[in-house]
A and B are shown apart, each in its own frame.
Chain A
């Protein structure tokens, strides 16, 4: 039996490293072409679901508690809230903007949601946040341009979708 090309890279990224595969990577293209095979492959082998959109792919594992996912949500929520204070286009800024970690440290310190950050293990202080950025880069959620600057990869939309769904649910609850 013949394995699809880039098989190792696909399994390595999605399964071993647990990171997002992004549009533009050779493995992503191969994955998209063999979409059905991999959906079955990951389900039959590990009972994991493959999420594949136009610009990112991800294996989801249904753990009850995932501190990293929660930390990312809190981080992005505070980040978006602060970013919205500027008179700029939020979603475009998220997609294309380049952010300085040191500048954002200041903003986090001053944020009215700082107490939420402090209550989150992975985000509670600058040191922890520095590790958190490393983790984000490892998961391909951000692109680190140098020690201080980063940019979000298209994978951040996965969490924006989550926010939109949540918004819909909240509205339905209130209605």
Chain B
């Protein structure tokens, strides 16, 4: 009982000294109690009267040498500043027991007087509401903490961040997900769902008006529970878990790289692809190539032409084809072609005799249509340089049809 003030007066005091209270609340959030030194530091510039009233209005309580803020005041300040200490999942889980107990009480005695009945329904309502509030507070506190961890205002090292992220996941986020998981048999969410179904049926029975009212209220609340919890799961799934995953992954990457930079030239590195240029040339290629090219060098080497005075090259008289053709045509018909050759070649050098003979013969065969040849089996010798041809007698007659050239 606050003896010395009206509630409104207390509220005014809270308003006037809000900064002090907030600071005290934050100290308590962190340290659980308010140590005497912290208390001194915060209230140093305030008059005695303020400190005295903190106790007179039962806002603070002495705990040995330290202080502690009254639970309800703390809750109220937390609500105002939206800063809470996240509840441990174990604390949240106790709602499973209390809600189940309260609900059980409704069914134990069929014959309850209506006041008790209404009261119990009311308490059940309070308990469920309190559970929902706590879940909301928890998710938001966790989200805030995670975001702070992400921004890293506290300049934690990567390893510390990683540890904290892991702690948040292990101690708060995972269990919280279990508690509000609708698909989980033992989760509070599914308990609430079952109660919701039963209450929906029970309220249809005949009840006293007060009880009926409570049933309606409870029914309405339970209808909202699902949506509410789904929203929280959504926050966890969409924001909290990915954020914390990212912090974890990021810290892992950075931690790894930092560890690498401590010994950058000693630690093994990941295997990387290598460029493989196509090896057209091998060790043997050069020798092979030289051999290959040399054959062409030899083949294309031409006899050298010497410019300048040297022994005069032998003049090879050209076989005058047209002139000899005329001679041949004039001598037609010939009874002995080679005999004629002998006569014609009388003035020719011995060295050129063979060439001349072959050229004369070619006169006959290059234009065989103009001449008719008859071969006779009597042979005579035809000496050229170095050896002698044995040639048959050939009779050559000019063909009438051939044009005379």
Residues of A within 8 A of B (CB): 14-20, 46, 49, 58-63, 66, 68-70, 72-74, 76-78, 80-81, 84, 87, 89-91, 113, 116, 119-120, 139, 158-168, 170-171
Q: Is the CB of A91 within 8 A of B253?
A: yes
A68–B255 alpha-carbon span in the complex (Å)? 22
**0 or 1 for each of B230-260: is its CB under 8 Å from A? (1 = yes):** 0000000000000000100110111111111
Q: Is the CB of A170 within 8 A of B270?
A: no
Q: Is the CB of A73 within 8 A of B259?
A: no
In the complex, besides A165-B256, A167-B252, 19 extra interface pairs with C-beta distance below 8 angstroms are: A17-B275, A60-B273, A66-B269, A69-B270, A70-B264, A84-B250, A87-B151, A89-B150, A89-B250, A90-B253, A113-B261, A116-B261, A160-B253, A162-B256, A163-B254, A166-B256, A166-B259, A167-B253, A170-B259
Nearest CB of B to A49, in Å: 8
Which of B253, B264, B278: most chain A CB closer than 10 A?
A: B253
A158–B269 alpha-carbon span in the complex (Å)? 11
Name 25 A/B residue pairs within 8 A (Cβ), A-sorted. A16-B277, A18-B273, A18-B274, A61-B271, A62-B271, A63-B271, A66-B271, A72-B272, A73-B270, A77-B261, A84-B250, A90-B254, A91-B249, A116-B264, A119-B265, A158-B270, A159-B270, A162-B256, A163-B254, A163-B255, A165-B256, A166-B259, A167-B255, A170-B256, A171-B159
Nearest CB of B to A122, in Å: 12
B278 contacts across to A, CB distance below 8 A: 16
Q: Is the CB of B269 within 8 A of A70?
A: yes
A149–B275 alpha-carbon span in the complex (Å)? 25
B265 contacts across to A, CB distance below 8 A: 70, 119
Known: A70-B264, A166-B259. A60 touches B272 (CB 8 A): yes
A119–B87 alpha-carbon span in the complex (Å)? 51
A17 contacts across to B, CB distance below 8 A: 275
A164–B245 alpha-carbon span in the complex (Å)? 13
A85–B267 alpha-carbon span in the complex (Å)? 25
Q: Is the CB of B272 within 8 A of A69?
A: yes
Nearest CB of A to B9, in Å: 45
B256 contacts across to A, CB distance below 8 A: 162-168, 170
Q: Is the CB of B276 within 8 A of A16?
A: yes
A17–B272 alpha-carbon span in the complex (Å)? 12
Q: Is the CB of B249 within 8 A of A73?
A: no
List residues 260-314 of chain B with CB under 8 A from any CB of chain A. Answer: 260-261, 264-265, 267, 269-278
Total interface residues in chain B, CB < 8 Å: 29
**0 or 1 for each of B379-402: is its CB under 8 Å from A? (1 = yes):** 000000000000000000000000
A165 contacts across to B, CB distance below 8 A: 256
A18–B275 alpha-carbon span in the complex (Å)? 4
Which of A63, A69, A139: most chain B CB closer than 10 A?
A: A69
Nearest CB of A to B273, in Å: 4
Known: A73-B270, A167-B256. A91 touches B250 (CB 8 A): yes
A66–B252 alpha-carbon span in the complex (Å)? 24
Q: Is the CB of A59 within 8 A of B273?
A: yes
Q: Is the CB of B267 within 8 A of A166?
A: yes
A91–B248 alpha-carbon span in the complex (Å)? 11
A89 contacts across to B, CB distance below 8 A: 150, 246, 250
Residue of A nearest to B277 (CB): A16
Select one of B246, B258, B269, B276 contacting A91, CB under 8 A. B246
Which 4 pairs show the lowest CB-CB distances between chains A and B?
A: A163-B256, A167-B256, A77-B257, A60-B271
A142–B265 alpha-carbon span in the complex (Å)? 23
Q: Is the CB of B273 within 8 A of A170?
A: no
B252 contacts across to A, CB distance below 8 A: 163-164, 167-168
Residue of B nearest to A117 (CB): B264
Residue of B nearest to A157 (CB): B253
A15–B279 alpha-carbon span in the complex (Å)? 13
A119–B159 alpha-carbon span in the complex (Å)? 27
A14 contacts across to B, CB distance below 8 A: 273
